[in-house]
Amino acid sequence: MKESLPPLPAPRETDPLDGLLDLAPTASGQRRLRADAARNRTRLLEVAARLAADCGAANLTMEAVATAAEVGKGTVFRRFGDRTGLMFALLDHHERELQAAFLTGPPPLGPDAPPVERLRAFGAAVIRHEYAHRDLYLAAHTDVSRRHTGPANQLRLGHLCMLLRRAGARGDIELLAQTLLGYLDINLVDHLVGRRGMSMDRLQLGWEDLIERLVVA
């Protein structure tokens, strides 16, 4: 019995920009935080960012944040859900910067460039951006299921699908886009750079070669 995949949203004529995604869950999950709760959340993030800079994001724990902020551990869990939620909250600023660049920024990454040029630029931007903040990205992506289903990944997937369609790529567009996202995975990039000794320039050239094979006749 074949498994049916849920359909992707219909492609739009413009970029899927209904506002940049907020990756960080609120305390209630739905309701806007009260002013005092928002201040407490900001303070917890400041403490967490300082600890991550001091000891590394991989070693950051909810208990350490609670202790440094002089609050109960339950308070940290209520604000962020779990450690992965905290990591996504810490990444929110960096991810918004990247989203703004490929959704509304200048060419060749932004809208005023041909789709093939945007595809080339997208890979280079993601590789360099995530590697520059790899400590946080690696810590946030330990949960594989949430890495693939998170809002940032879904936005990137939709963006790549749109560019591939506009560039005239043939085949299963969603699977092609997923394959491209796999190339950009920070765990793979970190392995190739840190353990295989590959340069960022080599990874970027490999991405551009892959794009050429997919969309250039």
- Give the pLDDT confidence score for residue 106 in this predicted structure: 96
129 Cβ contact list (under 8 Å, min separation 6): 94, 97, 98
pTM passes above 0.75? no
- Give the pLDDT confidence score for residue 36 in this predicted structure: 74
Q: Which CATH class is domain 82-215?
A: mainly alpha
HSE of 32, CA atoms in CB hemisphere, 13 A: 2
Question: Percentage of residues in the chain with pLDDT exceeding 90?
Answer: 45
26 Cβ contact list (under 8 Å, min separation 6): 32, 33
Q: What gap in Å lies between CA 146 and CA 141, rounded to an integer? A: 8
**Residue 197 burial (C-beta neighbours within 10 Å; 0-12, 13-18, 19+):** exposed
User: Mean pLDDT over residues 84-107, rounded?
Assistant: 89
- Say whether domain 22-81 belongs to CATH 1.10.10: yes
Domain boundaries, the chain: 22-81, 82-215
| Polymer length in residues for the chain | 217
> Each residue of 145-156: pLDDT tens digit?
777 888 889 999
